[in-house]
Structure 1
Amino acid sequence: MIGPIVNGTAVIIGGLFGASIGKKIPARVREALPMTFGCASMGIGIALIMKVNSIPSVVLALLLGSLIGEIVQLEKGIENLSLKLRKFVNKPKPNQQLISSHEDFIEKYVALVVLFCASGMGIFGSLTEGISADPSLLIAKAFLDLFTATIFAITLGYAVSLIAIPQFIIQASLFMLASVIQPLISPMMFADFSACGGMIMLATGFRICGIKSFPVANMLFGLVLVMPISALWSHLM
């Protein structure tokens, strides 16, 4: 299980390094870097959407997934947990304000959790290593996440490093389930999965840039539903 360990370690190192140098970075740079990455997220999302096989399947999965997310209030739970983590990890001195406001912290932190934990590259990389013992995709993702964690930890602090925990749990679980899941996935199903992830990444980019605060965490259930819906749609149509 090389890939999940390397990827998680990269997030921890990037988060620690970014938080340690945060106060030394000018305010204009702290604001510009996440905005730039938000634009990159939107670009990646658009590229993934272009791979779609069945757009009705993707739309239906996102609608049903968002409905489930709203019912169970997944995003609200992540928001509450993120604030507790922030208070625990980034302990300010009396009369000292944290680098970013609570509202700004929640907006970016929830989006970052989605980027690290629910990216198509991470999920596919975990499945690939589980089947072929090839960790190259997750190692490549680790370099990207190292840079990303550093950028966001400059403004969000040490709490960014803790995202490595759910990320590792998800990737390790997929690694162990790979032999069961991989044979059930067709190229068309994975194309729709990538497109669904692309739409979530596009919404995440909008959120990071402050354009529109989409409930991206609530949309994550769409990733669970899109492959079964895609398979059913292909069978019926």
Structure 2
Amino acid sequence: MQRIIARFVPANKTLSEEEFSASLLTVIVLFVSSGTGIYGALVNGMTGDATILITKSILDFFTGAIFAANLGFVVSLIAVPQFVVLMILFLLAGVIYPLTTPAMIIDFKAVGGTLMLATGFRMIKVRMFPTADMIPAMLFIMPISWAWTTWVLPLLAK
């Protein structure tokens, strides 16, 4: 997504090409693959409760305004992949959500929180974590959590 968006939008004149790409990647990770958005889309698709997504949209508005002051209008283009990803999850929620357990949801939220923490450290330039490389953890945590609670925990209980 970063390459596609960067190809159509010229880099900001005040930022170097590297700083622009790093900031754009941070914004993409922050908006598109946040645990709140993914979990909110699943909950809304399954129960019809949009509270989590409404809360996320309010937070994203202010965060987007801050990033837009630095990156320009490219921040508004993030809405397209964000809409696509969250709409797919919304439509698949009827299949995904019934397969989850409370432990899987808690583990998913923990991974999402860790990803957001790494993104925050990247934003304030404390440590440049490879946040885009961490996104697959959002996909793999639920099967790993299920396998842990189904196979490993019963062995440890004996």
Q: 1:161 aligns with which of 63, 73, 76?
A: 76
The letter of the residue matching 1:232 is A
For 1:84, the aligned partner's letter is R
- 2:147 corresponds in structure 1 to 232
Find the aligned partners of 1:110 and 1:85 in 2 and give their Cα distance: 15
CA distance in structure 2 between the partners assigned to 1:158 and 1:177 by the alignment: 31
Separation in 1 of the partners of 2:150 and 2:73? 48
For 1:122 and 1:102, the matched residues in 2 are separated by 29
1:114 paired with 2:37, answer: no
Task: For structure 1, list consecutive stretches of 5 or more residues without a partner in the other structure.
Answer: 1-77, 91-96
Q: Which amino acid aligns with 2:64?
A: A
Using structure 1 for the length normalisation, give the TM-score: 0.61
Rounded to whole Å, the distance in 2 between the matches of 1:85 and 1:147 is: 25
Instruction: Give runs of aligned pairs for residues 129-208 of structure 1, distance below 5 A.
Output: 129-208=44-123
Runs of 4+ in 1 over 6 A off after TM superposition: none
Q: What is the correspondence of 1:1-237 to structure 2 with a 5 Å cutoff?
A: 78-87=1-10, 98-236=13-151, 237=153
- The one-letter code matched in structure 2 to 1:228 is P
Deviations 1:77-106 (A, max 9, x none): x4433421332xx6xxxxxx7132211111
Q: Secondary structure at the match of 1:160?
A: helix
> Larger relative CO (CA 8 A, sep 6+): 1 or 2?
1
For residue 193 of structure 1, report the CA deviation from its aligned partner.
0.7
% identical aligned pairs: 43
Deviations 1:179-229 (A, max 9, x none): 100101111001111111112111111111112221111110111000000
Q: 1:79 to 1:164 in 2, by over 3 A?
A: closer
What amino acid sits opposite 2:72 in the alignment?
Answer: G
Q: Could you say what the CA RMSD is over the residues aligned between the two structures, in angstroms? A: 1.5
C-alpha distance in structure 2 between counterparts of 1:115 and 1:231, whole Å? 26
Normalising by the residue count of structure 2, what TM-score does the alignment of the two structures yield? 0.90
Deviation, 1:112, is 1.1
Query: 1: distance between equivalents of 2:129 and 2:9?
Result: 22
